Amino acid sequence: MPYINRERRWLLTGHAFQAAKEAGSLGELNFVITKLLLCYLDKLRLEEGAGPYATLSSVRAVLCDVADEYYRRVMVPYEEAKKEENGDVF
């Protein structure tokens, strides 16, 4: 998880909260995330002139990092609590 400075975190959290609040389904959440990535790609290409593969690959790496962090911070504690509640499978 990139722990960015507090000022930027505050600004970006407000935007992210608004977009998430508007999403009424998982499909809409997927749409919001996709549009966010596409807008960022457009901005990145214009500002940095990065090659298409490098740009696309870097954004994919961010998605993988987000998925890993979500798993580590959200899913693992949930699974551990369920294991305690219901007993271990192994």
Q: Mean pLDDT of successive 10-residue segments in the chain (90 residues)? A: 82 88 93 91 72 83 94 97 94
User: What is the predicted pLDDT for the residue at 51?
Assistant: 67
Residue 42's nearest CA partner among 55, 32, 54, 30 is 55
Q: Write the CA distances from 10 to 3, 4, 31, integer angstroms.
A: 12, 10, 23
User: What is the predicted pLDDT for the residue at 52?
Assistant: 78
Phi-psi group of 25: left, alpha or beta (phi > 0 → left; psi -120 to 50 → alpha; rest → beta) = beta
User: What is the predicted pLDDT for the residue at 10?
Assistant: 87
User: What is the predicted pLDDT for the residue at 50?
Assistant: 59
User: What is the predicted pLDDT for the residue at 86?
Assistant: 96
Q: What is the token pair recorded at 69?
A: 């962090």
